[in-house]
Amino acid sequence: MTAVILGVVVGAFAPVITWIERKQSAVMQDRIGANRADIGGITILGLLHPLADVIKLLSKEDVVPTGANRVLHLIAPVIAAVPAIIAYGVIPFGSTYVFGGETISLVVANPDWGFLYIFVIGSIATYGTVIAGWASNNNWSLLGSLRASAQMISYEVTMGLSVVGCFLVYETLKLTDMAMAQDTTFRVFGFVEVLFGGELPWWVSQFAVLPQWGIFLQPLGFLMFLTCIMAENKRPPFDLPESESELVAGYFTEYSGMRFGLFFMSEFIEVVVIAGLITTVFLGGWAVPFLSQEWIVDRVGNGFGAFAGFGDGFANGFCMLVHFATFLVKVVAVIWLQMALRWTLPRFRYDQVMDLCWKVMLPLSLVNIFVTAALVLLLGE
């Protein structure tokens, strides 16, 4: 059931992302953007372009260059695409709802070590790129995958360390529990009372309230995680492995047809995975700010529901729809953020990428862990 919903959402999302990307770039460059593909004159704002893309890619010749390692060349795009797709499995897109004794949880798989699953998948995803560049028997490809392997290993380390702060704050690795923990609010200056004693004026403690989201509890962690995961995805400004002005197309220079399409798609699927992950860990997941699940179910069930004669099931169903819509809105917002960053920032130089990772973000993430641990210990949340 949940897997079906997920499949539909993912299947619908990835092609639309290519359209969003084109339109976003057009907006930022003061162009109209993709609007030529049409069926009998109907263009639907250029939404037919993904369809045209698929037809074009499927009908192209699938070239394997001479001297290439045939088997590795053929399986590399699959190694790249599969981890991107299965990474969705642990991202919750809704809470747990009760329908007359039956419980529905909007997540496909919910292991205790959910976040580690993401890391595992991410580490396997490196191979698609690396193998593709090696198997192509092309110097540009080889350089591209050399860069990719170094970049992805380096940023994986910092990515892991940058979310440790969140693990400390939520005291869990389970993505559903993380989202659940953010479905509440906290007093921004509450720590002052704990640390220094005394009481704050009522207007401070009453109104300085924020949703208990990761982005407010771990602002530095959020920035570093966003940077690292964008570097893992190898999109601009971190597209050194495929930088077209230096390396033709980097590791997928020698790919054509749908095999190229798989690399292309896996990148866009990863954009959605990243958006889902950031939403879940840092932006409260499915939670509506200031309105907790209990509150919504209670108000709708006992207020409107009781008035109109609906049962608890109605309240839960309504809450489910609201949460799902909230999750989608947040995911789209993060996707938009990634697109905007991609079309705003110029590409880094390679030594800058490495320096940013090892000399700036790694020490910062360690400091972040230390400070977070100290605060958690002191405040005893």
Stretch that binds another protein, among 1-9, 139-147, 229-237, 322-330 (CB under 8 A): 139-147
Minimum distance, C-beta of residue 50 to another protein, in the bound complex (Å) = 32
Which position has the token pair 């866009």?
A: 268
Is position 69 an interface residue for another protein (rule: CB under 8 A)?
yes
Segment (H or E) for 99: strand 96-99
Exactly one of 10, 104, 146, 376 binds another protein (CB under 8 A); that residue is 146
Instruction: Return the range that interacts with another protein (CB under 8 A); candidates 97-105, 146-154, 192-200, 373-381.
Output: 146-154
User: Is residue 142 close enough to count as binding another protein by CB under 8 A?
Assistant: yes
Tokens 């990428």, located at residue: 353
Residue 123 lies near another protein (rule: CB under 8 A): yes
- According to DSSP H, which parts of 136-184 are helical? 139-170, 175-181
What is the smallest separation between the CB atom of 232 and another protein, expressed in angstroms? 11
What number of other Cβ atoms are within 10 A of residue 371's Cβ?
12
- Regarding 145 and contact with another protein (CB under 8 A), the answer is yes
Question: Tokens standing for 24?
Answer: 């976003």
Q: Please return the burial class of 156, using the count of CB atoms within 10 Å of its CB with bins 0-12, 13-18 and 19+.
A: buried
- State the Cα–Cα distance between residues 264 and 225, nearest whole angstrom: 23
Among 31, 39, 58, 112, binds another protein (CB under 8 A): 112
The one-letter code for the residue type at 131 is I
CA dist 323 and 5 (Å) reads 14
- Closest distance of CB 269 from another protein, Å: 19
The reply on whether position 225 binds another protein by CB under 8 A is: no
Q: How far apart are CA 197 and CA 60, in angstroms?
A: 71
Q: Does 231 bind another protein (CB under 8 A)?
A: no
Residues forming the site for another protein (CB under 8 A): 69, 72, 111-113, 116-117, 119-120, 122-124, 126-127, 130-131, 133-135, 142, 145-146, 149-150, 152-153, 156, 173
